[in-house]
Amino acid sequence: MRTRGAEIRRRRELAGHGLRNFAAQVDISASHLSRLERDLRGAQPEVVRRIADKLNAAVSDIIDPSS
């Protein structure tokens, strides 16, 4: 599933989460999160759900609608 990486990063930073800390909280590696935020990699639906939940966002807010 393709995500809107810039939106994930924007929301994560606005919430005050560092990359490594946030990645640990959603149970993925920091390098995976970094690649998601730079739109270099997609994510499994359950990972997208965990990210959205942690950011208090809807999944539709952080997925690429063209995917």
17, 8 contact by CB (below 8 A): no
pLDDT (0 to 100) of residue 59? 96
Q: Which amino acid is at 29?
A: S
Mean pLDDT of 43-57: 97
Res 67 pLDDT > 80: no
Res 65 pLDDT > 90: no
pLDDT (0 to 100) of residue 66? 83
Domains and CATH numbers, the chain: 5-59 (1.10.260.40)
Mean pLDDT of 33-40: 96
When comparing pLDDT for 39 and 66, which is higher? 39
Q: What does the mean pLDDT of the chain come to? A: 95
3 bridge partner residues = 63
Q: Cα separations (Å) of 30 from 24, 27, 60?
A: 7, 9, 23
Residue written as token pair 């920091």: 30
